[in-house]
Amino acid sequence: MTITVNLETELPDGVYLELFGDRGLGLMIQNPVNVDDTIYEFPVWRLPEGEEVIFRSAKFGDLAFDNNVSDYAKRNRVFTSFDRFVMETEDEPIGAYDYKLIERDGKLYSTVKCIRSDLGNRVGITVPTIPDDITLTIVRENGAEEVIPEGELSNAIPLYQSS
C-alpha cells in the first residue's frame, strides 16, 4: 500500500521548496527569523508496516520517502512529513532540531529552532547521527513530560494521518 503526501498542503505557512541543482529539493523560509525563534514545526508520524510513502508535488513531481531519511527513521518507521527536505549542511547551519515532541490535538510535533539568522532563507541544518539508544521526550497536552526509549517509540507515535 502507498501513502501519498501532497507537499502543497503539508508545508506550513512561510515555508516552501526550491530545487538546488544536484542536491535536490530544499526547504526555504519566506521571512527572516531571529536566533531562538522557531523556524517551523512539523508533524511526527509512524508508518504502518509495509506502507510506502510518495511525496507528491505539482511543481516537482513524485519523490520517494527513502531518499535522505536517517537510519533511525527507517528502523522505527518514523515519518516527519515535509521535514525530509531539510538541506543538511555541516558548515553553515541556521537551524537545529528540538528532540522534544509536543502533543497537540492528538498529534505529535517537533520543531526546528534558529541558531543563526545571518545566512538568508535556506533552511540548512547540521543533522546529527542519531544514536540507537536515544530517548525522546513527549510533552503531553496536560503538560506532563514522558520519556520514551527507542524500543517503545512505535507505541508512542501515532499512525500517519493526512492533513
The Cα–Cα gap between 102 and 107 comes to: 8
CATH 2.170.270.10 fits 2-156, yes or no: yes
pLDDT at 86: 65
Kindly report the pTM of this predicted structure.
0.75
Q: Name residues whose C-beta falls within 8 Å of residue 91's C-beta, 6 or more positions apart in sequence.
A: none
pLDDT at 60: 83
Q: What is the pLDDT along the chain (163 residues), one digit of tens a residue?
A: 787 888 878 787 788 888 777 767 777 888 878 888 888 888 888 877 777 778 888 888 887 766 556 666 777 777 776 666 666 555 667 777 777 889 998 888 888 888 877 666 666 665 555 566 667 889 999 999 999 876 777 778 887 776 5
Helix (H) or strand (E) segment spanning residue 5: strand 2-6
pLDDT at 122: 64
pLDDT at 65: 66
pLDDT at 146: 92
